[in-house]
Amino acid sequence: TDAVAEKTTAPVTDNLRDLFVDLSKRLVPAVVNIYTTQTVSAGGGANPQSELYRRFFEQFFGEDFDGGQGGGGGPPGLPQGGQGRKATSLGTGFIIDDKEGLILTNYHVIADAEEIKIILTEEDKDREGIDAKVVGGDAEADVAILKIKPDRKLKMAPFGDSDALQVGEWVMAVGNPFGHGHTVTKGIISAKERVVTPISPFSNYLQTDAPINPGNSGGPLINTRGEVIGINTAINAAAQGIGFAIPINYVKRILPELRTKGAVTRGFIGVNIGEISPPLARYLKLPKNTRGVIITEAFEGAPAAKAGLQVYDVIMEINGKRTLDGGQLIGTVSAFTPGTVINVKVLRGGKEKDVKVTVGKRPTRDAMLSQGPGKQTPKGKAAKPAVNVGMAVDEIDPEMRQELGLPKALQGVVVSRVSPNGPAEEAGFERGDVIVEVDQKPTPNVRAFNG
């Protein structure tokens, strides 16, 4: 029996070995190591956007994550970090245009870099590296394009189709972990369309168990046909075997604009949305197993309101694609070019309705990012907790309105405290939520809310 088992399994093992050996030989030459330097003030004062990236990526790479690009030193010729003056970081990229010398990587790899050096091969590790400049970058998608003037013929990594991937498929990751140079790891696609909001709300990530370590950021995730199907981005430091990659089909959509304009313009319909909780479903008398996201606010003058979308509409599909959660909705809408007319299928009053919406241009988040994370709910005199709902609310004064970034026309009360294990907590209310209606009656102030 053992002999039979050995004969039947050995060819499979040999095939896998040959597969990954072949993939490595073909794709590793298209992968580059990226080293950057930037000035870091010993007394703080770091760029707020970079600080956001550092904090967000520490959730995935751990506290040793260095500046969002991995740890370790750099190659000879680059000044090493010291005394809070110069910091050297590293990452990975891959060549997408051999004639133009274009390299694709993560935005956080090169964010705020004053100098970028590219190491093409292992044999070049002892050299200074080739200077690179940024052609385009998108912080919110975490994608950047670099350009070099190569001193040799380049090897290009072809794109695949990430939408065609199936859970369980073999994949290979190539990167520069901890500055050790080209390293290959393998695994499978564990899941698709994962929402990793701290990194980006615009890309429904691929999840893989292929090891992705600090320094691998920006490297390719490759299928068994030797095609790039994702950009390795992050791992979860608290859980081994959980890594994320940006689907290459999403990158394909924004790549032309990044190359020509250096930035990305995103679609926007102008709604606030929420998940459908069981209490909300009961209150709105939604059919069982209703899937979608519910509109909690349609901004006045924005595309959704102009098209007739309303509060309490449940968005079920956009152009025939299901919208199962908020992250998926944001990613879908943002991928449309402003001016595109899309079909939004909603559930309203128990009936399905198709609404044509002309996509607008999404406002920039620069102002929000510059405020940094951890913004606190403004202080104020809170109303006494309503015993029947288990939360306290407060009036929205001008200072609070400005701090929360609320429209002037929005009238409501802000949740200042949620009682543990109470009805409000069970329903999903959080501190800082703004309540505009109760039982479809406006709540412009605390008295109206308690009434």
pLDDT higher than threshold 90 for residue 272: no
Q: Using pLDDT thresholds of 50, 70 and 90, give the confidence band for residue 112.
A: confident
Q: How many CB atoms lie within 10 A of CB 354?
A: 9
What pLDDT is recorded for position 385? 40
Does residue 10 lie within any of the structural domains? Answer: no
Total structural domains in the chain? 4
Does residue 370 lie within any of the structural domains? Answer: no
Q: Are residues 45 and 100 in the same domain?
A: yes
Buried b (16+ CB within 10 A) or exposed e, 218-238: bbbbbbbebbbbbbbbbbbbe
Token pair recorded at residue 226: 């030797």
Tell me if the pTM is above 0.75: no
Dihedral pair phi/psi, residue 241, rounded to 5°: 80, 15
- Residue with the larger pLDDT of the pair 91 and 282: 91
Does residue 166 lie within any of the structural domains? Answer: yes
Q: Are residues 32 and 73 in the same domain?
A: yes
| Rounded Cα–Cα distance for residues 73 and 80 (Å) | 7
Q: Are residues 280 and 256 in the same domain?
A: no
What pLDDT is recorded for position 64? 43
162 catalytic per annotation: no
Instruction: Give the strand pairing for 351-358 and 360-361.
Output: unpaired
Q: Which of 301, 327, 361 is the last residue of a domain?
A: 361
Token pair recorded at residue 108: 């956080």
Does residue 389 lie within any of the structural domains? Answer: yes
Q: Which amino acid is at 177?
A: P
What pLDDT is recorded for position 238? 55
| Residue 230 half-sphere exposure toward CB, CA atoms < 13 A | 34
- Residue with the larger pLDDT of the pair 147 and 364: 147
Query: pLDDT tens for residues 58-87?
Result: 444 444 444 444 444 444 444 444 455 677
Does residue 367 lie within any of the structural domains? Answer: no
Dihedral pair phi/psi, residue 174, rounded to 5°: -120, 135
Does residue 21 lie within any of the structural domains? Answer: no
Does residue 444 lie within any of the structural domains? Answer: yes
Q: Which of 224, 241, 261 is the last residue of a domain?
A: 261
Candidate from 113-127, 213-227, 412-426 with smallest mean pLDDT: 412-426
Residue 216 region, left (φ>0) first, then alpha (ψ -120 to 50), else beta?
alpha
Q: Are residues 224 and 271 in the same domain?
A: no
CATH assignment at residue 435: 2.30.42.10
| Rounded Cα–Cα distance for residues 25 and 265 (Å) | 37
Choosing from 89, 108, 138, 334, the catalytic residue is 108
Q: Are residues 281 and 254 in the same domain?
A: no
Q: Using pLDDT thresholds of 50, 70 and 90, give the confidence band for residue 242.
A: confident
Does residue 276 lie within any of the structural domains? Answer: yes
Q: Which of 261, 289, 309 is the last residue of a domain?
A: 261
**What is the rounded average pLDDT of the residues 245-273?**
92
23 in Cβ contact with 172 (< 8 Å): yes
Query: pLDDT tens for residues 430-449?
Result: 888 888 888 667 888 877 77
Q: Are residues 390 and 411 in the same domain?
A: yes
142 catalytic per annotation: yes
Average pLDDT, the chain: 79
Q: Are residues 256 and 274 in the same domain?
A: no
| Rounded Cα–Cα distance for residues 46 and 37 (Å) | 14
What are the Cα distances from residue 216, in Å, to 21, 101, 111, 393?
Answer: 19, 20, 16, 46
Q: Using pLDDT thresholds of 50, 70 and 90, give the confidence band for residue 392.
A: confident
| Residue 160 half-sphere exposure toward CB, CA atoms < 13 A | 19
Choosing from 66, 124, 138, 142, the catalytic residue is 142
Q: Are residues 137 and 179 in the same domain?
A: no
Dihedral pair phi/psi, residue 49, rounded to 5°: -65, -40
Q: Are residues 139 and 231 in the same domain?
A: no
- Burial class from Cβ neighbours inside 10 Å (0-12, 13-18, 19+) for residue 167 reads exposed
415 in Cβ contact with 391 (< 8 Å): yes
Identify the bridge partners of residue 188 per DSSP, sorted by sequence position: 170
217 catalytic per annotation: yes
Choosing from 162, 200, 217, 334, the catalytic residue is 217
204 in Cβ contact with 248 (< 8 Å): no
Q: Are residues 135 and 74 in the same domain?
A: yes
Q: Are residues 141 and 197 in the same domain?
A: no
Domain residues for the domain of 62 are: 26-148
Q: How many CB atoms lie within 10 A of CB 12?
A: 9
Query: pLDDT tens for residues 140-194?
Result: 889 999 999 988 899 999 999 999 999 999 999 998 876 667 889 999 999 998 8
Q: Using pLDDT thresholds of 50, 70 and 90, give the confidence band for residue 220.
A: very high
Sequence length of the chain is 451
Q: Are residues 44 and 130 in the same domain?
A: yes
**What is the rounded average pLDDT of the residues 307-313?**
93
- Residue with the larger pLDDT of the pair 95 and 73: 95
Q: Show the CA angle centred on residue 284, arms to residues 409 and 414, nearest 5°.
A: 35
How far from each other are the two terminal CA atoms of the chain, in whole angstroms? Answer: 78
CATH assignment at residue 143: 2.40.10.10
| Rounded Cα–Cα distance for residues 216 and 109 (Å) | 10
